[in-house]
Structure 1
Amino acid sequence: MVEAQYTELRQTVEACQAGLPTVEKMALAVVAALKKGNKILTAGNGGSAADALHMAEELVGRYRTNRRSLPSISLAADVTAVTCISNDFGYDNVFSRQVEGLGQAGDILVTFSTSGNSANILNALDAAKKQGLFTINLSGKDGGKARGKADLEWIVPASNGARVQEIHTWVMHTILELVELEFQ
């Protein structure tokens, strides 16, 4: 089983190679926004919420090098906002409502979704576009309904959610490493 898991991961990595230039474009967009004083908003559900939290905390804290704190908010982090908005507006609007309240033109919304079909991610991307945010979407399988909705997207061509999240983590860490090179 271990060898099969490793083989599947290696094959997934190889299938993603053509998209490598997109990761650099994502990093450059994040760097440009941060240099202009904008912030990075992140969103995801379940394990992808953990990815969103991870990215935001690495920007506010640090990834590898000591540098100034960079503005970032995970829209999955505030349990009171998540439960209030879900109760009052429905879970499909849990991120879009926060984008409306926290997002400003020039900010970036980074979304994580293994399927690309989560209604709250789709609504967040729509709200971000309406408010002038630049959007980055990381998804899996065929991109789902989110395919083509973001300014930049990385679609991991795998149906196994674990492999998709593993590649999303690599993409996120690569973006963070390139960001830190600019803010040392």
Structure 2
Amino acid sequence: MKIINPQDYIANYIKAQSEVDYSEVVNAVELIRKTWIAGHKIIAFGNGGSALNVQHFMNDWVKSSFVNKNIPFNGVSLVDNVGLLSAYANDFSYEEVFLMQLKAILAPGDIIIAVSGSGSSENVIKAVEFANERKNKVISLTGFNGGSLIKLSNFAVHFPLNDMQMTEDFHLQFGHIVMKSLFE
């Protein structure tokens, strides 16, 4: 077992952060703000660590918007209902667990936040394609080369590093940037 050098981890992270297009971050935050104020849904989803980041986002955003601004935040995480996820996976396929939920709730003016470290998760891609067909705006959070998701997004918040853990670190920072920008 090799213990990594924490300074190297942080140095690599900082180097990758310097290559991020921060105008996409600002544009994504502004789209979330406009959607929130208009009362539309902000719907987010992802797999694995990305799913947990989505849960963290919604926890922070929904609570902070009401507690700090007294304005309800219509945030929806498609990863929270295990029964619904497993029903769609069983009755259709895992590739359709987010698509089927979107078909039931996506309305005009709602936005999508699709989180995929690789940018290639099939269930995320299918849901984003549906949102695009419906003309809903899509924010993606990706890493690595962005996969096909980066090309399907209106705003692509891309962390250009081939490291899943650092990508997930950056995505969590995005969630905190949204929270501090809108709700403090």
Q: Which residue of 2 aligns with 1:136?
A: 139
User: How far apart, CA to CA, are the structure 2 residues paired with 1:73 and 1:95?
Assistant: 12
For the aligned residues, what is the CA RMSD?
A: 1.6
| Per-residue Cα deviation, 1:20-51 (whole angstroms, up to 9, x for no partner) | 11111111111111111101000010000011
Are 1:20 and 2:22 counterparts? yes
Please state whether the residue corresponding to 2:64 is helix, strand or coil.
coil
1:61 aligned onto 2:63: yes
Question: Which moves more between the two structures, 124-133 or 40-49?
Answer: 124-133
Equivalent position amino acid for 1:161 in 2: M
- Tell me how many residue pairs correspond in the alignment: 179
Distance 1:65 1:37 in 2: 17
- Indicate if the aligned counterparts of 2:45 and 2:54 stay in contact, CA closer than 8 A: yes
Per the alignment, residue 42 of structure 1 pairs with 44
> Where does structure 1 lack aligned partners over 5 or more consecutive residues?
none
CA shift for structure 1 position 132: 2.9
Q: Aligned-pair distance for 1:147?
A: 2.1
Which residue in 1 is equivalent to 2:77?
Answer: 74
1:170 maps to which of 167, 173, 176: 173
Gapped regions of structure 2 (runs ≥ 5): none
What's the CA shift string for 1:96-139, capped at 9, x where partnerless?
11111111111011011110000001011011112232110000
After TM superposition, give the deviation of residue 75 of structure 1 in Å: 0.3
Q: Distance in 1 between matches of 2:137 and 2:107?
A: 10
**Matched residues in 1 for 2:90 and 2:107: separation?**
25
In the alignment, residue 50 of structure 1 is paired with which amino acid? L
User: 2:13 corresponds to which residue?
Assistant: 9
What TM-score does the superposition give when structure 1 sets the normalisation length?
A: 0.92
161-170 vs 112-121, which moves further: 161-170
**Residue 15 of structure 1, CA deviation:** 2.0
**TM-superposed deviation, 1:170:** 1.4
Aligned partners of 1:107 and 1:133 also within 8 Å = yes
Indicate conservation of the 8 Å contact 1:41/1:56, yes or no: no
The normalised TM-score by structure 2 is 0.92
